[in-house]
Structure 1
């Protein structure tokens, strides 16, 4: 991610008679993450390694009998830095969305897997998607949050593949007093269900809760009194049609109309409804904005807690008339 704006602008032409060379140069330009600023003008954020790649590109174009030139500048007239950043986001974000959609399509195959070979094929497909995601991240110079969300989707599906989804089980009727001062563990890069569930835990179940975020492949240490949530292991996770937020409300008997309103929003976003209600769409936009700031998971949770506190207070006021 770039914290200051300085740009590399370059232009090139390759002899029209050499179609293969034109395609090769175009692929090189695309691979380094350049976007078209105006007709015939490509732009990249300034970085030493990108400057070096542009220099090599210019040499290659010249060797092909073409022409190329590059300049470095701090400002582009008639175009704001924000508009330029949005050009880069518009180029990579659809790629992240495509990876998410392909990953979710694997769920149908997961439900119909019949043997160990099917498992291996699914793992291989998921690994290819993860590599694609990492490749796109190298060109994600101005993250919008799409990369983090994509990694979260991949992590979630990987976990579902290792541990089949739980069927809905009867409510456990748990007492929050038995869950004081625990270490609650979930996967890194939390999104709506994990963020909402963590807030719910801290506010209504365990006021002294501590949270630990595990990277891909890590598992909670149950011997150290770690309580997993929104993970395949443990009981506080998706069950049947219920998301984790709903399971926690049910198992701890949290009967609260304001919580029910928040639960509806979290569910709409988490299950990826095609058309979100206006209030859910607004909440999703804010959560995406928080994720896009690139804060660490604990800082992200802190900001999300303030958001959910405000939502809860607003719903309480509305319901009380």
Structure 2
């Protein structure tokens, strides 16, 4: 089904000089993307429509011209844009926002693995709150659930887990968990699964419970539910480790060399996409991004992503760690 869109077409005079800058800031805050010079677009919905109408009025009051109109893009008859092309512009814009935000906080995130005396709770709380506020500002204009948000969500989970622990003192040795104690349960996580949650779901069905049931809605929880990759989950980020790595460690699956390599790749894709440790990571991330862009259905994302991970696991089993 073709998405309805809103166009804001404006002509702003050179004076007063502040008007052009003001309009640019407002359009950026709304998450609008440029189609042409002075032609901006947003998904058609009541909040965007109201904001664009008010902005158009301000432009007119400032001596310029502005029009807000509804449009459809079907890409037929030689049209420059299709509906998919427009969506891609929004996804690319938000991917850039998430990538830049992750880069700013990468050093802080990696410091969570430093000795306890080098960090203070107030500092981590400040990083966490700043990252959360800026992430929510991007999320508000992420109209199509851009996959890149998973990296920020992973960082937030790591900060919040560190704070919940209350201290960075070494934990007592944890007992290795047995898969048989986790069978016949429902595994629960947030909707909109991406890298870490897709990989964790694959790990659960492949190595813990082949009949595992999943629910992608964490608003309800029963005694038989196991929460993963979310704040206060049974399995979630710990320090600089993503959920997949935590599960490998707690079930002692990291002794499997092929799974250990996959752990490094999942970590790269989820938390360190700009500086991956494995050369395969960018290509695999592109595959998973493509899967997520093809469907909003979480079970389908897990199903399709699991086929990719099955193939990778078989490859690393045959080729060894350094393939």
TM-score by length of 1: 0.73
Alpha-carbon deviation of 1:186?
6.4
Contact 1:174–1:253 (8 Å) recurs in 2: no
Q: Pick from 94, 97, 103 the counterpart of residue 95 of structure 1.
A: 97
Alpha-carbon deviation of 1:159?
1.5
- Aligned pairs (5 A) from 1:1-321: 4-75=2-73, 77-107=79-109, 110=112, 111=114, 118-163=120-165, 176-182=179-185, 191-211=194-214, 224=223, 243-248=245-250, 251=252, 255=256, 258-259=258-259, 262-270=262-270, 272=272, 274-275=275-276, 277-292=278-293, 295=296, 300-313=301-314
Q: Distance in 2 between matches of 1:260 and 1:50?
A: 46
Which stretch of the first structure deviates more once superposed, 25-34 or 100-109?
100-109
Alpha-carbon deviation of 1:227?
5.8
Change over 3 Å in CA distance of 1:80–1:174 after alignment to 2: closer
Q: Distance in 1 between matches of 2:170 and 2:163?
A: 15
Unpaired runs of 5+ residues, structure 1, are none
Change over 3 Å in CA distance of 1:49–1:290 after alignment to 2: same
Change over 3 Å in CA distance of 1:6–1:210 after alignment to 2: closer
Change over 3 Å in CA distance of 1:12–1:312 after alignment to 2: same
Alpha-carbon deviation of 1:206?
3.1
Alignment size in residue pairs: 310
Offset from partner CA, 1:5-62 (integer Å, 9 cap, x none): 2333332233322112332222222222222211232222322332222222222122
Q: Distance in 1 between matches of 2:39 and 2:255?
A: 58
Alpha-carbon deviation of 1:140?
1.9
Q: Distance in 1 between matches of 2:48 and 2:249?
A: 48
CA RMSD in angstroms comes to 4.2
Unpaired runs of 5+ residues, structure 2, are none
Alpha-carbon deviation of 1:96?
1.3
Change over 3 Å in CA distance of 1:168–1:281 after alignment to 2: farther
Q: Distance in 2 between matches of 1:230 and 1:147?
A: 14
Structure possessing the higher radius of gyration over alpha carbons:
1
Q: Distance in 1 between matches of 2:168 and 2:4?
A: 48
